[in-house]
């Protein structure tokens, strides 16, 4: 991670200094690593015309969070997971400018510029859900264990 805003401390309890220079995989849930890898790489055929490379990114991931529900911070080893909705785009930088002749090909350097917003846990939702939204819980095999009375 190259740059993070100061807000990361407010939402995750981790400081800019703790995260800068580290791999995102050190602070994300292992089950999300494959999806993160996909979003850090170029994807062919995902653009508007289906042939060009898609650079837009929109995905969810879980990051370590050291802030408790009561606003206290815990040790990184005791951290919980917070779901983040991440949107942004991939920036691609080629090694050689087009006007310069290069004797070898370097792979393009890529980075992702994105904004991540924390998603509130359903038990912490203060505002009532609108008429088009309902709340449900599921077991690991995706069977409903709870569903709103509105359904």
Domain residue ranges in the chain? 7-120
How much is the pLDDT for 18?
A: 87
How much is the pLDDT for 87?
A: 94
How much is the pLDDT for 67?
A: 80
Which region, left, alpha or beta, applies to residue 150 given φ > 0 means left and ψ of -120 to 50 means alpha?
A: alpha
Query: pTM of this prediction?
Result: 0.66
pLDDT along the chain (151 residues), means of 10: 86 87 92 91 60 80 83 78 91 66 67 87 62 82 86 67
How much is the pLDDT for 105?
A: 66
Q: Are 113 and 120 in contact (CB under 8 A)?
A: no
Q: Quick one: CATH architecture of 7-120?
A: 2-Layer Sandwich (3.30)
Grouping H, G, I as helix, E, B as strand and the rest as coil, residue 151 is: coil
């Amino acid at each position: 991670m190259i740059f993070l805003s100061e807000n990361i401390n407010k939402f995750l309890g981790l400081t800019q200094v703790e995260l800068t220079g580290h791999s995102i995989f050190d602070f994300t849930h292992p089950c999300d690593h494959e999806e993160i890898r996909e979003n850090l790489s170029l994807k062919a055929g995902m653009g508007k015309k289906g042939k060009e490379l898609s650079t837009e990114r929109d995905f969810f991931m879980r990051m370590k969070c050291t802030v408790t529900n009561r606003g206290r911070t815990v040790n990184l080893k005791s951290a919980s997971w917070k779901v983040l909705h991440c949107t942004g785009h991939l920036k691609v930088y080629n090694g050689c400018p087009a006007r310069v002749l290069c004797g070898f090909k370097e792979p393009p350097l890529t980075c992702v510029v994105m904004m991540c917003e924390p998603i509130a846990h359903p038990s912490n939702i203060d505002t009532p859900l609108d008429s088009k939204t309902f709340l449900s819980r599921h077991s690991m095999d995706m069977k409903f264990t709870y569903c709103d009375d509105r359904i």
